[in-house]
Amino acid sequence: MGKIIALLTDFGLKDGYIAVMKGVIKSIAPNTDIIDITHDISPQNIDEAAYVLWTSYKYFPKSTIFVTVVDPGVGSNRKILMVKTKNYIFLAPDNGILKYIFAYQEVLKIYNLENKEYFLKNISNTFHGRDIFSPVAAYISKGIPLKNFGTETTPLTRPEYFLSLASVKNKSINGKILYIDRFGNIITNILIENNKYIDDIQYIEIGKTHVNHFYKYYSEARNSKIFGLVGSSNLLELAMRNQNAAKIYKVKIGTKIKVVLR
C-alpha cells in the first residue's frame, strides 16, 4: 500500500468533483490510498475547514499528504502553499486554512506551487482541485522532491492559537464559538488541557444564558439543560443530551462566549 492522500474540501459529494480529483490521483499514482476527511465544509467557509483539519490531521499516519481545498480565490493570483512539517505535507490555498497547523506544528518548509510540469495540461480558472492540487499530491506521493514543485515562500496565513484556561490571569476569559458539529454540540476556542481545570469554571455566558452544569460525558446529564464538557479535542464544548444545543440556543460560528472562573 502506498502513501495516504487525505482530502478536505467544500465541494460536496453530489456533483462528482471529488471523484474527478480521485481519478486524477489514481491515474498518476495508482497505489495511493485516498481518504476523505470531509467535503461538506460550508461553501467558502475557511474557518470550518481550518477547525476540521486541526481535529483530524494528527491521527493520520506519518507522511500523509493533506489536500485541503476551500478556495474562494481560485483562479486569482492567490498562492497555493505546500507545507512540510515533521510528519506531514499540507497543500492549501494561502487563505487561512492552515492557521492552526502553523500555530501548533513545527513547520520545516513552505513552498509556493509553481511548476506547471506537475499540473494537468489544461488548467481551468475554476477547478484547481482537479488541475493542480490532485496531480501535485499524486506526484508527491510518488517521491518527487518537494523543491521541484516550486520555490520557498512566506505565506500570508498567520498562526491562530486557542485560548487556554491555564493562562487566564483575571476572573474571566472571552472566547468564541469555533464550530458546531452534526449533533449540535457547540465547540469553543477555549482549550482545556486537563479535565480537572473544568472545576475552575463558575459559569459560561452565552447570550443571556449562564451555563453552570458540567459533565464528563453526554449521558451523564439527567435532564434537558445545556451543559459544559471537555470535548474530544480538549476544547470546551456546550451540549445537550440527545438534543441539538446549537439549534435550540440559535448560536452560530463566531458567536462570543465568556467563561467566568471561581
Site of interaction with a second copy (CB under 8 A) = 1, 4, 6, 8, 11-17, 19-20, 22-24, 26-27, 30-31, 33, 35-41, 43-44, 52-53, 55-56, 59-61, 64, 72-76, 124-127, 130, 179, 181-183, 216-220, 229-232, 242
89: left (phi over 0), alpha (psi -120 to 50) or beta: beta
- Min dist CB 197 to a second copy, Å, is 15
Beta bridge partners of 78: none
Question: Chain-centre distance of CA 131, in angstroms?
Answer: 23
Q: Cα-atom radius of gyration of the chain, to the nearest Å? A: 20
CA distance 203 to 262: 8
Q: Which of 146, 7, 149 is nearest to 67 (CA)?
A: 7
Residue 4 carries which side chain, given as an amino acid letter?
Answer: I
Per DSSP, the three-state class of 179 is strand
- Min dist CB 169 to a second copy, Å, is 28
DSSP conformational letter for 59:
G
Q: Which one, 104 or 218, has the nearer CB to a second copy?
A: 218
Q: Which one, 22 or 84, has the nearer CB to a second copy?
A: 22
Q: Which one, 117 or 220, has the nearer CB to a second copy?
A: 220
- Min dist CB 135 to a second copy, Å, is 10
Q: Which one, 19 or 166, has the nearer CB to a second copy?
A: 19
- Min dist CB 73 to a second copy, Å, is 5
Grid cell digits, residue 170: 483575571
- Min dist CB 158 to a second copy, Å, is 20
